[in-house]
Structure 1
Amino acid sequence: MLNEKAQTELTKTMSGRDVAQAGALCYRRNENGGVEVLFVGSRRNGRWGIPKGHVERGEASSAAALREAFEEAGVTGVVDKTVFGMFSYRKDTSPNQYHVAVHLLKVSRIADKFPEKDVRKTRWFPLETALREAAQPGLRTLLSRLETVGV
């Protein structure tokens, strides 16, 4: 029989660990003034989400969000240094829980070449459609807030 401390450690190992990530909610206005959101397809399952990934040691989450947006979707622009919101998710293939600090990124440029161009799909969605297409429920909550902040 395991003591309480050993049981806690075993449970942590079995259930994975918490992983901090940063993400960019990339947006623009279309010719009619409507908000559009850029999604990237997951490499694992093709579901739509925002560019996101790990935060390097000493890197601000806003800088990580900007880096991930370029690596995964080829976009650059003005990133808000303030965290717009957070959501958490689990990957089908990992026991870890991922916690994403999301920053707004107003897209000003889309590159022809970027690191993950050949392995990811990207697509602009009107905000209303993005609300339906987002893979993570927490991301849908953030998208619904986007309507009220007047970007």
Structure 2
Amino acid sequence: MLNENAQTDLVKTLSGRDVAQAGALCYRRTENGGFEILFVGSRRNGRWGIPKGHVEDGEASSAAALREAFEEAGVAGIVDKTVFGSFSYRKDTSPNRYQVAVHLLHVSRIADKFPEKDVRKTRWFPLETALREAAQPGLRMLLSRVETLNL
């Protein structure tokens, strides 16, 4: 896990074809003690993944992860400032490689209205199902680590 300073340095060093992003691995406990992960559908292909997007200049990746979670899924809560892990992926339509610093976000509120409500689908999945549904292999690896945490 990277601290905020190391992670900010990582963001600064990425240039050209590497694009820095931040993502939120949003989770909650159900009434019966189950554990669920929130996924959003890609606008391009509908595949399931976590809310993620660009990091503004001077913005901490944890703040960007929280912002993206609200914009894409309408959720808010407590975001862990420490990077939980990272993964990279490529979009079918771009030559760039996207490097995603992922933060855990314990969801406490879900908004009725949010910026991408009409263009994205959202769905809560039990962790076991999320492991199968995740579009990116690197995301599946991070989800497998969640099983070992006491959240």
Counterpart of 1:122 in structure 2 is: 122
Pairs aligned (count): 136
How many Å apart are 1:150 and its aligned residue?
Answer: 1.2
Q: Give the letter aligned to residue 48 of structure 2.
A: W
Q: CA deviation at 1:34?
A: 1.4
Instruction: Tell me the CA shift for residue 121 of structure 1.
Output: 0.1
1:55 matched to 2:36: no
TM-score (norm 1): 0.89
* Other structure's SS at 1:149 match: coil
Report the secondary structure of 2:56's partner residue.
coil
Question: Which position in structure 2 is the counterpart of 1:42?
Answer: 42
Following the alignment from structure 1 to structure 2, what is the Cα–Cα distance between the partners of residues 34 and 57?
A: 38
What's the % identity of the aligned pairs? Answer: 89
Letter in 2 for 1:110: I
**2 CA distance for matches of 1:35 and 1:148?**
12
Letter in 1 for 2:78: V
Report what 2:84 is aligned to.
84
> 1:23-59: CA deviations, max 9, x gaps?
0000000112111000000000000000000000000
Show structure 2 runs of 5+ residues with no match: 1-15
Q: What is the TM-score when the length of structure 2 is the normalising length?
A: 0.89
Runs of 5+ unmatched residues, structure 1: 1-15
Following superposition, the deviation at residue 136 of structure 1 comes to 0.2
Runs of 4+, deviation exceeding 6 Å: none
Question: What is the rounded CA distance, in whole Å, between the counterparts of 1:19 and 1:35 in structure 2?
Answer: 31
Residue 101 of structure 2: aligned partner: 101
